[in-house]
Chains A and B, each alone.
Chain A
Amino acid sequence: MTSVELRDVQRSVGRFTLGPISLTLPDSGVVGLVGANGAGKSTLMRLLATIDRPDSGTLAWNGAVVSSRTGRMSYRTRLGFVPQDVALPQRARCDDYLWHAAWLKRLPAGDRRAAVEKALAAVSLIDRATEKVQTLSGGMQRRLSLAQALLGDPGLLLLDEPTVGLDPQQRVSFRDLIREAGRSAPVLLATHLTEDVRLIAQTIVVLHEGSVLFQGPVAELEALATPDAPGDSELERGLSTLIADTGTDAETRGVRS
Chain B
Amino acid sequence: MNMLRYMTATSFSWLAGPIAVAMELLNYTDRGRPWRDDFLWAIDWAGTGVFLTVPVLAGLVAADTGLTLTQNRRDLTLSKPREAVALLAPALVGFAAAGIVHLIFVIPYALAARPTSENLSEATLMLVAHLAVLGSFAVLGSFLGAAVRLPWAPVVAAVASPVVMWWMGRSSGLFSPFDVGGSTSSLLGLTLNQDFVLIQLVTLAVVIACVLLAVSRRWPWARGASLKVLTPLVALAVVLLLLQRTPDLERLEVVSSAPARQCAGSEPSICFYPEHRRFVAEVRQNAQRIYEGVPREVAQLLPTSLEERYPGGGVPDAPEVSAYEVLPDSFSSDSIPISDTAGALVTPWTCPQIFGQAPPPEKYFQAAQLLTQELLAAAEGGSNFEDPVRVQEFTDLFNDVKSCRIFDE
Chain B 61-78 per-residue mask, 1 if CB under 8 angstroms from chain A, else 0 = 000000000111101111
Asked whether A91 lies within 8 Å of B79 as measured between CB atoms, the reply is: no
Of B5, B10, B71, B83, the most chain A CB neighbours within 10 A belong to B10
Count class of interface residues, chain A: 20 to 34
Q: A96 and B6 in contact (CB under 8 A), knowing A52-B223, A86-B72, A86-B75?
A: yes
Which listed residue, B3, B79, B86, touches A81 by the CB 8 Å rule? B79
A91 to B10, CA, bound (A): 6
Contacts of B73 in A (CB 8 A): 86-87
Query: Closest approach, in angstroms, between the C-beta of B343 and any C-beta of chain A?
Result: 61
Asked whether A83 lies within 8 Å of B75 as measured between CB atoms, the reply is: yes
Q: Which of B1-30 contact A (CB under 8 A)?
A: 2-3, 5-6, 9-10
Chain A 78-98 per-residue mask, 1 if CB under 8 angstroms from chain B, else 0 = 010101111101011101110
A85 to B9, CA, bound (A): 21
Q: Which 8 A-B pairs have the closest CB atoms?
A: A83-B75, A99-B2, A104-B80, A87-B72, A96-B6, A49-B79, A89-B10, A76-B81
A100 at the interface (CB under 8 A from B): yes
Contacts of A105 in B (CB 8 A): 80-82
Q: A81 and B6 in contact (CB under 8 A), knowing A103-B82, A104-B80, A104-B82?
A: no
Given A76-B79, A83-B79, 13 more pairs with CB closer than 8 A: A51-B75, A81-B76, A81-B79, A84-B75, A85-B72, A86-B75, A89-B6, A89-B10, A100-B2, A104-B77, A105-B80, A105-B82, A148-B76
Asked whether A97 lies within 8 Å of B6 as measured between CB atoms, the reply is: yes
Asked whether A81 lies within 8 Å of B75 as measured between CB atoms, the reply is: yes
A104 to B74, CA, bound (A): 13
Asked whether B81 lies within 8 Å of A77 as measured between CB atoms, the reply is: yes
Asked whether A91 lies within 8 Å of B9 as measured between CB atoms, the reply is: yes
Q: A96 and B72 in contact (CB under 8 A), knowing A81-B79, A89-B9, A105-B80?
A: no
Asked whether B80 lies within 8 Å of A92 as measured between CB atoms, the reply is: no
Which listed residue, A83, A95, A106, touches B81 by the CB 8 Å rule? A106
Chain A 94-133 per-residue mask, 1 if CB under 8 angstroms from chain B, else 0 = 0111011101111000000000000000000000000010
Name 8 interchain pairs, CB-CB below 8 A, sorted by A: A50-B79, A51-B78, A83-B75, A83-B79, A96-B3, A100-B6, A103-B3, A104-B77
Q: Interface residue count for B (Cβ, 8 Å)?
A: 21
Which listed residue, B5, B10, B82, touches A106 by the CB 8 Å rule? B82
A95 and chain B: residue at smallest CB distance: B2
A73 at the interface (CB under 8 A from B): yes
Query: Closest approach, in angstroms, between the C-beta of B219 and any C-beta of chain A?
Result: 14
A85 to B72, CA, bound (A): 6
A77 to B80, CA, bound (A): 7
Asked whether A92 lies within 8 Å of B6 as measured between CB atoms, the reply is: yes
Query: Closest approach, in angstroms, between the C-beta of A82 and any C-beta of chain B?
Result: 8
A175 at the interface (CB under 8 A from B): no
Query: Closest approach, in angstroms, between the C-beta of B78 and any C-beta of chain A?
Result: 5
Query: Closest approach, in angstroms, between the C-beta of B76 and any C-beta of chain A?
Result: 6
Contacts of A83 in B (CB 8 A): 72, 75-76, 79
A73 and chain B: residue at smallest CB distance: B81
Contacts of B83 in A (CB 8 A): 76, 104
A160 to B86, CA, bound (A): 22
A52 to B75, CA, bound (A): 10
A116 and chain B: residue at smallest CB distance: B2
A84 to B72, CA, bound (A): 7
Query: Closest approach, in angstroms, between the C-beta of A55 and any C-beta of chain B?
Result: 8
Contacts of B9 in A (CB 8 A): 89, 91-93, 96, 132
A96 to B6, CA, bound (A): 6
A76 to B82, CA, bound (A): 9
Chain A 172-185 per-residue mask, 1 if CB under 8 angstroms from chain B, else 0 = 00000000000000
Contacts of A93 in B (CB 8 A): 5-6, 9
B85 and chain A: residue at smallest CB distance: A104
Q: Which of A59-89 contact B (CB under 8 A)?
A: 73, 76-77, 79, 81, 83-87, 89
Contacts of A100 in B (CB 8 A): 2-3, 6
A85 to B70, CA, bound (A): 11
Query: Closest approach, in angstroms, between the C-beta of A186 and any C-beta of chain B?
Result: 16
Asked whether A49 lies within 8 Å of B2 as measured between CB atoms, the reply is: no
Asked whether A104 lies within 8 Å of B10 as measured between CB atoms, the reply is: no
Contacts of B72 in A (CB 8 A): 83-87
Asked whether A86 lies within 8 Å of B223 as measured between CB atoms, the reply is: no
Query: Closest approach, in angstroms, between the C-beta of B217 and any C-beta of chain A?
Result: 10
A148 to B86, CA, bound (A): 16
Contacts of A50 in B (CB 8 A): 79
Asked whether B75 lies within 8 Å of A76 as measured between CB atoms, the reply is: no
A45 to B75, CA, bound (A): 10
A186 to B73, CA, bound (A): 24
Contacts of B82 in A (CB 8 A): 103-106
A93 to B6, CA, bound (A): 7
Q: Which of B311-336 contact A (CB under 8 A)?
A: none
A198 at the interface (CB under 8 A from B): no
Query: Closest approach, in angstroms, between the C-beta of B135 and any C-beta of chain A?
Result: 23
B86 and chain A: residue at smallest CB distance: A104
Chain A 141-181 per-residue mask, 1 if CB under 8 angstroms from chain B, else 0 = 00000001000000000000000000000000000000000
A204 to B281, CA, bound (A): 92
Asked whether B223 lies within 8 Å of A53 as measured between CB atoms, the reply is: yes
Query: Closest approach, in angstroms, between the C-beta of B252 and any C-beta of chain A?
Result: 45
A7 at the interface (CB under 8 A from B): no
A46 at the interface (CB under 8 A from B): yes
Of B9, B75, B223, the most chain A CB neighbours within 10 A belong to B75
Asked whether A96 lies within 8 Å of B86 as measured between CB atoms, the reply is: no
B70 and chain A: residue at smallest CB distance: A87
B73 and chain A: residue at smallest CB distance: A87
